[in-house]
């Protein structure tokens, strides 16, 4: 018996939280998407089109657990300001971790301060999958 598990990064693109009208854009416009502490938490992203392509390939050839992410993990201090610019939101605030823990919970604060990026090397090597959108920096939010 074989099985496949795909661990997706933060999905971006049309219809996602990161879309121009998505939840993260609304939060950014309300200045509710801060950089916590030094902003050192690292996030991995994947475009929805690449996520769908990986699912097809994994069903055909996969056996095991694969991280489905682009090639460019990013610290919160890098991606949050870029995202805010893309959606026309004000620059993000810097907020101490203890305050975010108090207001949004320890998980949210830890993710934004201590998150680790993921590697797609195994998916590339074993599935032959390669993301078409290799970095969120090229097209984080769909251009109108």
Diameter over CA atoms, the chain: 51
- Residue 35 and residue 100 in contact, taking contact as beta carbons nearer than 8 Å: no
CA nearest 116: which of 9, 19, 21, 32?
9
Residues 6+ apart with CB under 8 A from 27: 33
Q: pLDDT tens digits, residue range 12-60?
A: 999 999 999 999 999 999 999 999 999 999 999 999 999 999 999 999 8
Domain annotation for the chain: domains and CATH numbers:
4-127 (3.40.50.720)
Token code pair at residue 29: 């416009």
Q: Which helix (H) or strand (E) holds 9?
A: none
Q: pLDDT tens digits, residue range 4-15?
A: 999 999 999 999
pTM: 0.89
């Amino acid at each position: 018996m074989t099985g496949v598990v795909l661990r997706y990064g933060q999905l971006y693109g049309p219809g996602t939280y990161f879309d121009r009208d998505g939840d993260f854009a609304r939060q950014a416009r309300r200045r509710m998407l801060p950089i916590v502490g030094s902003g050192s938490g690292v996030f991995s992203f994947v475009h929805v089109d690449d996520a769908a392509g990986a699912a097809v390939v994994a069903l055909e050839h996969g056996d095991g657990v694969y991280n489905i992410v682009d090639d460019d993990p990013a610290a919160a201090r890098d991606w949050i300001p870029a995202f805010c610019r893309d959606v026309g939101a004000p620059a993000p605030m810097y907020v101490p971790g203890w305050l975010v823990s108090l207001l949004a919970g320890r998980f949210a604060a830890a993710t934004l301060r201590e998150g680790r990026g993921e590697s797609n090397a195994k998916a590339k090597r074993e599935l032959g999958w390669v993301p078409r959108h290799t970095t969120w920096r090229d097209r984080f939010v769909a251009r109108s």
